[in-house]
Amino acid sequence: MPLRTLAILLLGWAAGSAAEEQAVFVVEFQPGVDPALAQWLVLAGGLRVRPHLDLLPNHLLVEGQREEVLKLAGDSEVRHIFPASPALMRGEAVRSCAGPIIGDGKIGQYIASAGNGWGQAKQGPVTVGYFIERFGEKLPGDKVREMIVRALEEWARYVEIRFVPAEDAKAPHTLNFLFGKGDHGDAYAFDGPGGVAAHAFYPAPVNPESIAGDVHFDDDENWQQATGPDFYSVALHEIGHALGLLHSDDPGAVMYPYYQTFPKLQGDDIRGIRRIYARQCIGVECAMRYSP
């Protein structure tokens, strides 16, 4: 067989294999959809459900040809479809975030935006206070403070937000951080180790100033241990919500709905926060903008 013909056949085989390649997605169903119905819809479409113990209650890990998986979006029971992270595909243990608390509930990932954060649609510099109301039992207080400040500064690297210590947890424009167990003073009780690790409240005016932007951590978690969540990574993610970001579909983003260990923000996170706030200024220009 001529080499040219063989090359053409090999290219055709490779293209066909790529077209038939299996992909893995997270399929988010509408709240209240019966899990048995969700499974049936996936299987009826000729797709495979990958079992995973750590998925959110209305999520399924679905494998199949990309086009066939995306056809599920036409079902009224399906809320959103997004790519699975490598950790989910490998079946590794993960920790999930249900999303920021907005008003009387939590917002779905299919929503692109729900406000302008603490500013007014990129209208210049914003100053936001932070306060640590209550430390936990698993981590030293100075270590918690160091990681929270480092996470705040990471977001401030890319947009015009200045974080300043506040004197009162309930002060306007203030992110209040605390550790709590079970019923800890809001309507979203924690569920002990291995469940919800943390939650954050969206900025005002979506939430009232008394709780807007607050970030709570479950003190029953084995923070920073081999079997527990990485505190800095969770804080970095939840601060994103407290500043006005929702979840990202990008498996390589800090704001992906399943926590991942990142030392810094990723490209999609930076693009997301810059859609809400002005880009970071530098030097004298920055000092002038923040001056009274």
CA distance 148 to 256: 19
Please indicate whether residue 228 or residue 83 has the higher confidence score (pLDDT).
Answer: 83
Q: What is the pTM of this model?
A: 0.86
How far out from the chain centre does Cα 205 lie?
Answer: 21
pLDDT of amino acid 154: 98
- The Cα–Cα gap between 201 and 283 comes to 32
Instruction: Give pLDDT, residue 280.
Output: 81
Give residue-wise pLDDT tens across range 55-111: 999 999 999 999 999 999 999 999 999 999 999 999 999 999 989 998 765 555 545
pLDDT at 291: 54
Q: What's the pLDDT score for residue 286?
A: 57
pLDDT attached to residue 9: 34
pLDDT at 114: 61
Q: What is the pLDDT of residue 26?
A: 98
Contact 273, 240 (CB under 8 A): yes
Q: Quick one: average pLDDT of 201-219?
A: 93
Residues 264-284 have a mean pLDDT of 87
pLDDT one-digit tens code per residue, 8-38: 333 343 444 444 578 999 999 999 999 999 9
Buried b (16+ CB within 10 A) or exposed e, 244-258: bbbbbbbbebbbbbb
Nearest to 235 by CA among 207, 268, 263, 267: 263
Question: According to the model, what pLDDT value does residue 139 have?
Answer: 94
The pLDDT of residue 206 is 87
pLDDT value of residue 285: 54
Residues noted as catalytic: 238
Domains contained in the chain, CATH given: 20-89 (3.30.70.80), 101-284 (3.40.390.10)
Contacts of 192 (CB under 8 A, 6+ apart): 182, 218, 220
